[in-house]
Structure 1
């Protein structure tokens, strides 16, 4: 966001924090409203107003950008403030706030921990506040996957250093717990892109999870492209950090394979059959990131291959073109 626009949004947010109480029900009479500048993935910054009620452990944040744009387009201030107030009430009633998970208690959250993969360079500031594990040019962080028993969306909370201190848990134990959990966001899925496309256009079609032990992979072993994610297709690129997933991929692709970072939600697996060069694959990844992926969801502009000796992925030097990577 341009600095001038960010300043204008913060001024608007400060006005909202000061006056929004007048547009809310009586239960918000003693609530605290605070302007927050949140660092999102890849350096994306957003300004919001946080609502803190004494009886709640979680404090939702309403981002002001869409409302600020309405004001700039000439919408009446009172109308926009009523819209913000309605959003705050809705945010306070979303199911995850009443899911029984207490973010201040490690025993309450530990079974809901999961791993997210982000770009290290693009998130240097954010990573200073978070426990993380480095993997090539990427970093694994942990988040709490809140239970949401409705269609209201996804609710997550990134784990910061202050959480570890409050929980009295070390980072290694937290990551071990996160990878051991078995909720849908931790359950990997590998699917043939050809089969996925057919299932999209054919309502009765179904893309098979090729990581299932009872699936005959030979039927699809000649496909050129596969998608790796998790059951919820949410932050599924982190599946590449699971050793058991890499071991299974090594079995399925004994000739080797490349990993293309499609987004923070998914990676693409390309068998190394000698037909695709890392330089060309890197150009493809950068082109897709530039034109088709929202900046906040870009994972990397680089391509990786599987190191059979070390049993881990590594960057392909020929795929790197630093001056054009992620707009850095």
Structure 2
């Protein structure tokens, strides 16, 4: 699509014309970019916003994308309510979503730079769309988390690669949550790995297949530590009770004498 055609499409008011060009741009909630999108409906996911946009790859500007926030005003112009627009974009993104698939080794290079030890041996999977543009928006689609759970066979981590894709790693209880967090931050601060305009967040995320809960790696690590502390206290309490049970008969014998 040429840039002039993109502008004409925005002027058309024809919802059917823009449907294939609708997507979610994921961004950190604290990103300066959010100020430019404050008139847009959105989905909040953890510390991120999913902002609806209209976009197109430009034929007359090789490698460039045209993008327009799908504001509340534009929703009215195209004759659709804000909530309905969100649901429509979820449907459109779902149509383009690729099944979560394993990456080839040469595609892992950027993330491997941030890995060490056991993490380097973990298989990485990618979640994106068929056209690879704004593919991180797949996290907003219905059943994405549950479908990824089936593909991974249980708990897994979601690592923000860029606005165009997520990396997914199955949890194996060998790598600590903080290691994934360190890996994400190492990649994000490598200017050769991620363009700043396409960066997502400095957080890693964990999905619990049992509770169906998505949380940050830091929240998950805090929950694990709390559970470990409670188990230690429980073991100590049981040990103390058994010790008291052993001591009580001896006290009774002393009284009889």
Give the alignment's TM-score, normalised by structure 2.
Answer: 0.68
Whether contact under 8 Å (1:261, 1:267) holds in the other structure is yes
Give 1:230 shift.
Answer: 1.6
Aligned residues: 204
1:245 to 133, 140, 144: 144
- CA separation in 2, counterparts of 1:199 and 1:259? 15
1:164-175 correspondence to structure 2 within 5 Å: 164-175=75-86
Gap change, CA 1:157 and 1:310, over 3 Å in 2: farther
Gap change, CA 1:312 and 1:178, over 3 Å in 2: farther
3-state SS, counterpart of residue 102 of structure 1: helix
Runs of 5+ consecutive residues of structure 2 not aligned to the other structure: 110-120, 222-257
Whether contact under 8 Å (2:46, 2:215) holds in the other structure is yes
1:158 to 30, 50, 69: 69
Note if 1:109 corresponds to 2:18: yes
- CA separation in 2, counterparts of 1:158 and 1:310? 35
Give 1:144 shift.
Answer: 1.4
3-state SS, counterpart of residue 207 of structure 2: strand
Whether contact under 8 Å (1:228, 1:267) holds in the other structure is yes
Bigger mean CA deviation after superposition, 304-313 or 164-173: 304-313
Aligned position for 1:268:
167
Note if 1:226 corresponds to 2:226: no
- CA separation in 2, counterparts of 1:146 and 1:183? 18
Give 1:300 shift.
Answer: 0.5
- CA separation in 1, counterparts of 2:94 and 2:8? 15
- CA separation in 1, counterparts of 2:108 and 2:29? 35
Runs of 5+ consecutive residues of structure 1 not aligned to the other structure: 1-93, 201-221, 321-328
Give 1:294 shift.
Answer: 2.2
Gap change, CA 1:301 and 1:198, over 3 Å in 2: closer
Note if 1:287 corresponds to 2:205: no
Aligned position for 1:82:
none
Cα RMSD of the aligned pairs, angstroms, is 3.1
Gap change, CA 1:295 and 1:246, over 3 Å in 2: same
3-state SS, counterpart of residue 49 of structure 2: strand
2:2 to 90, 95, 99: 95
Whether contact under 8 Å (1:257, 1:305) holds in the other structure is yes
Gap change, CA 1:127 and 1:96, over 3 Å in 2: closer
Encode CA deviations 1:217-273: one digit per residue, 9 max, x unaligned: xxxxx9522122222222111112223332221112233100011111121111001
1:100-249 correspondence to structure 2 within 5 Å: 102-104=9-11, 105-107=13-15, 108-122=17-31, 123-146=33-56, 148=58, 152-153=62-63, 154-181=65-92, 186-193=96-103, 195=104, 197=106, 224-249=123-148
Q: Which of the pair is proportionally richer in helix? A: 2
The higher relative CO (CA closer than 8 Å, separation ≥ 6) is in 2
3-state SS, counterpart of residue 9 of structure 2: coil
Q: Which has the larger radius of gyration?
A: 2
Encode CA deviations 1:10-43: one digit per residue, 9 max, x unaligned: xxxxxxxxxxxxxxxxxxxxxxxxxxxxxxxxxx
Gap change, CA 1:100 and 1:118, over 3 Å in 2: closer
- CA separation in 2, counterparts of 1:223 and 1:261? 16
